[in-house]
Homo-oligomer: A and B are copies of this chain.
Amino acid sequence: MVVTHTHEVATKGQGDAHDITAAVARAVAQSGIGAGTATVFVVGSTAGITTIEFEPGAVHDLNEVFEELAPRHGEYRHHLRWGDDNGSSHVRAAMLGPSITVPFKDGELLIGTWQQIALFEFDTRPRRRELVIQIVGE
């Protein structure tokens, strides 16, 4: 069985992170599928998905490392093409990846107590993000 769920998140631009664990857990519970996988996929190429202990310190630390790796005000070839200012966003998003696949059983996500599913906005402006939660199982 497959159930496709979509979820929207309004973000505030680069560095803004959202704990989407509850939304994924709710989609799994409502799907009526007992065991399987939930693939959480962000549509677009300037945001990423991972798991993290979702507290402001750890979120800040990850963003800081991305700032060193791909500085917002660095030079990017992508800027030359479109006159965009979000080369750093594309690099960060491609490195973190747009999706995560989380197992569940008895209708519950098999993740840690201090492990949350997080959307990281990397774009330089606020965005309305569409997440696809694809639930596959039985």
- For residue A22, CB closer than 8 A to chain B, the reply is no
- For residue A12, CB closer than 8 A to chain B, the reply is no
In the docked arrangement, what's the CA distance between A41 and B87, Å? 26
In the docked arrangement, what's the CA distance between A51 and B98, Å? 7
Selected from B2, B61, B90, the residue in CB contact (under 8 A) with A76 is B61
Please tell me if the beta carbons of B36 and A58 are within 8 angstroms of each other in the complex: no
Which residues 89-108 in A have Cβ within 8 Å of B in the complex? 90-91, 93-103, 105
Please tell me if the beta carbons of B44 and A115 are within 8 angstroms of each other in the complex: yes
Which residues 104-118 in A have Cβ within 8 Å of B in the complex? 105, 110-112, 114-116, 118
- For residue A8, CB closer than 8 A to chain B, the reply is no
Please tell me if the beta carbons of A87 and B101 are within 8 angstroms of each other in the complex: no
Q: Is the interface of A mostly helix, strand, loop or mixed?
A: mixed
In the docked arrangement, what's the CA distance between A56 and B76, Å? 11
Please tell me if the beta carbons of B45 and A51 are within 8 angstroms of each other in the complex: yes
9 contacts between A and B (CB under 8 A): A36-B134, A39-B103, A43-B110, A51-B98, A57-B81, A58-B78, A61-B77, A65-B95, A94-B96
Q: Given contacts A52-B90, A57-B87, list 13 more A-B pairs with CB under 8 A.
A: A4-B110, A35-B134, A36-B134, A55-B81, A57-B76, A57-B77, A58-B90, A61-B78, A61-B90, A95-B95, A97-B100, A98-B115, A110-B132
